[in-house]
Amino acid sequence: MTESTIKVALLGAGTVGSQVARILTEDRDELAQRIGGTPELIGIAVRSVDTPRDYKAADALYTTDAESLIDRADVVIELTGGLEPAKTRILHALAAVKHVVSGNKALIAAHGAELMTAARQSGAQFSFEAAVAGAIPILRPLRDSLAGDHITRVLGIMNGTTNFMLDAMDARGADFDEVLAEAQRLGYAEADPTADVEGHDAAAKAAIVASLAFHSEFHIDDVHCTGISDITADDVTAAANDGYVIKLLSVCERDGEGVNIRVNPALIPRSHPLASVHDAYNAVFVESRDAGELMFYGPGAGGAPTASAVMGDFVSLARRSVLGGPGVPDYSYLGLAATSLSNVVSRYTVGLEVRDQLGVLAKIANVFAEHGVSIETMHQAKHREREDTAGDHATIRIVTHKTSNEDLRSTIAELTSLPTVYNVTSVIQVEG
Ligand code: HSE
């Protein structure tokens, strides 16, 4: 890198890439002041030069030849997404001591350690703040601001689409299909909403957060993941009646000698700070030995907000490079293992549809007791669809005291086998 000019190759010109191109172009002089060297956008690698873009840079900048663009750059900003060719291109850039900024959560959740190692070996810097929770500064605080502390737990709402959906269900009593259609209409959810709704997007982010928070190497496969597609309007209403709200939570916490990482719908008390995260916003709640409780809140997606995180990484690494000095150090020296769900201790709410006859309630309570699961509250109601009939259905909603996931699972398995239990309608964790 020369002292006066920092040549930037931008890979990708989608929603975020277009905004990064805009900022690099329009704010060039101010960025130069902040960095101590002038950033020069030397090219934008795209699949098709003719695609309409949110921001149109000079025509001559667009190219389909990413490899030669990388070879001419000092810094590569990778915003293409997906595993390949992004991984090969980043490894190629790092090996040639070109600093890299990436927002590619899927790639970093799958191969983050390998990319970090490649950066360390070559002396290039590699930053990826935009990969988790859009504009929210969370990775740098974990790697840098909290580097002298001991993080014990990270609890977050890391997917805006599902938060929008659950928030709408909570606010209006709307059902799942209605809010999913609304999320798709507003452009939050894709036509195929699987990655958001089934928790895969949040799981990738949780793996990255856990790696940084606990100085170890975790991948998306280490995350126990359950999405929100089974959450019904009845679950949301029942939670509200008990003073809770359902959120899709990402939880990363120390578990003995390892770390438990999970994404699942959970009830949280309305008084918890995460309960007040509405619409498509994200928030990450960090608990640490010395700092105590910290919450980071903001837009978790969108072109300009995510570009803000990309630009923060860019300015930071460009400034460090101009001034000299090492990048942020490696994160996996502790080498902790990911742990299973069995020992996770939590409260749960269990919804049951049962035969309404003498002794059924006692039998159900007994199953919980036999498995060592203590009941905190129990509500029984007539089954809604059958109120006007003589019907023999009742719905029961049980909230347990703290219990291990293993005991809860064996309880559910036995309940499911009872002829008087027609259906286990929901099993949701209660957090906080
Ligand atoms: N689809 C994600 C969300 C945004 O809904 O939060 C990108 O990670």
- pTM value is 0.90
| Alpha carbon nearest to ligand 1 atom 4, residue | 301
Res 389: pLDDT:
47
Ligand 1 atom closest to residue 164's alpha carbon, by position in its atom list = 5
| Chain length of the chain | 432
| Alpha carbon nearest to ligand 1 atom 7, residue | 301
Q: How far is the CA of 300 from the centre of ligand 1 (A)?
A: 7
Res 326: pLDDT:
57
- Distance CA(350)–CA(253), nearest Å, equals 24
Q: How far is the CA of 16 from the centre of ligand 1 (A)?
A: 12
> Using an 8 Å Cβ cutoff, are 263 and 196 in contact?
no
Question: Tokens 């999970």 belong to which residue?
Answer: 262
Res 160: pLDDT:
96
- Distance CA(412)–CA(399), nearest Å, equals 13
Ligand 1 atom closest to residue 301's alpha carbon, by position in its atom list = 4
Residue ranges of the chain whose pLDDT lies below 70: 1-3, 325-331, 383-391
Phi, then psi, of 261 in degrees rounded to 5: -125, 125
- Distance CA(296)–CA(369), nearest Å, equals 40
- Distance CA(18)–CA(384), nearest Å, equals 51
Residues 6+ apart with CB under 8 A from 409: none
Res 385: pLDDT:
58
List the structure tokens of 124.
């290039």
Q: Quickly list DSSP for 360-419.
A: HHHHHHHHHHHTTPPEEEEEEEE-GGGTTS---EEEEEEEE-SEEHHHHHHHHHHHHH-T
Please name the helix (run of DSSP H) or strand (run of DSSP E) that holds residue 251, with its range, or none: strand 244-255
**Residues within 6 Å of ligand 1 by CB:** 159-161, 188, 196, 201, 300-301
Res 79: pLDDT:
97
Residue 317: burial class (beta carbons within 10 Å; 0-12, 13-18, 19+): buried
Q: How far is the CA of 200 from the centre of ligand 1 (A)?
A: 10
Q: How far is the CA of 133 from the centre of ligand 1 (A)?
A: 8
DSSP letter, residue 143: I
Which of left, alpha, beta for 122 (phi over 0: left; psi -120 to 50: alpha)? Answer: alpha
Residues 6+ apart with CB under 8 A from 54: 15, 18, 19, 303
| Alpha carbon nearest to ligand 1 atom 2, residue | 159
> To test ligand 1's pocket by mutation, which of 104, 139, 159 has the most ligand atoms within 8 angstroms of CB?
159
Active site residues: 205
Closest CA to 25 of 79, 52, 61: 61
Q: How far is the CA of 109 from the centre of ligand 1 (A)?
A: 15
C-beta atoms surrounding 424 within 10 Å? 16
> To test ligand 1's pocket by mutation, which of 180, 196, 197, 297 has the most ligand atoms within 8 angstroms of CB?
196
C-beta atoms surrounding 203 within 10 Å? 29
